[in-house]
Structure 1
Amino acid sequence: MAWICLVTAGVLEIVWAVGLKWSDGFSRPWPSVVMGAALVASFWLLALALREIPLGTGYAVWVGIGAVGAAVFGMLVFDEPASLARVGCIVLIVAGIVGLKLTSGTV
């Protein structure tokens, strides 16, 4: 259950990061509200997950999911560069996330 909370928290990190972009410096109310709600929910689920998952692993996986998701979303939706080097770096982050999961000692 802790890993489900952690992955969900990571997905919500993507939501709040995108909401932060769409809020345009908090000048647009609805994206700002969505961003705030996703932020609170993401932190809450991360806190629940960290009851069972080691801090270093949980935090790194949470940040990694958010970073990869935000980068991919930016490439697909905001026309950010999708160079081979950039995609390669994203693959390295994913490999790190998988490695942390496999070596965490938790189910």
Structure 2
Amino acid sequence: MKVWIILLFAGLLEIGWAIGLKYSDAFTRLWPSVWTIIAYIASIGLLSIAVRHIPIGTAYPVWMGIGALGTAIFGIVFLGESTSVWRLTFLVLLVISLAGLKLSAAN
């Protein structure tokens, strides 16, 4: 279970660096750029720890899915991005896919 928590934190940091890309303005703003780089390195580092115990074919999609879902939710809540029925439907499907990958993992 501990390794899944590590993977969760890696995914949360992925959300952080993805959002950081928006605020770094193509790495032209210092502090958002610093945060983005630190979050990216930490996220990859935690992912590398997780894949020692979780198959890469499970860990990577879960990591990426957490990042994609969290970033999309951030965009909807804070940036006024679309909440179309199709977009929300596919986000729900992403959650179902992530749960399925977790449930079907050997570890």
TM-score, structure 1 normalization = 0.97
Residue of structure 2 in register with 1:98 after alignment: 99
Residue of structure 2 in register with 1:65 after alignment: 66
Name the aligned partner's letter for residue 77 of structure 1: F
Tell me the CA shift for residue 105 of structure 1.
Answer: 1.5
Residue of structure 1 in register with 2:28 after alignment: 27
Q: Structure 1 residue runs of 4+, over 3 Å off?
A: none
State how far apart, in whole Å, the 1-side matches of 2:98 and 2:23 are: 27
State how far apart, in whole Å, the 2-side matches of 1:49 and 1:2 are: 6
Number of aligned residue pairs: give it: 106
TM-score, structure 2 normalization = 0.97
- Measured on the aligned residues, the alpha-carbon RMSD in Å equals 0.5
Task: Please list every run of 5 or more consecutive structure 1 residues that lacks an aligned counterpart in the other structure.
Answer: none
1:1-107 paired onto structure 2 within 5 Å: 1-106=2-107
Task: Please list every run of 5 or more consecutive structure 2 residues that lacks an aligned counterpart in the other structure.
Answer: none
Name the aligned partner's letter for residue 61 of structure 1: V
State how far apart, in whole Å, the 2-side matches of 1:48 and 1:89 are: 29
Deviation digits for residues 40-95 of structure 1 (CA, Å, limit 9, x no counterpart): 00000000000000001000000000000001101111111111110110000010
State how far apart, in whole Å, the 2-side matches of 1:99 and 1:105 are: 12
Tell me the CA shift for residue 96 of structure 1.
Answer: 0.4
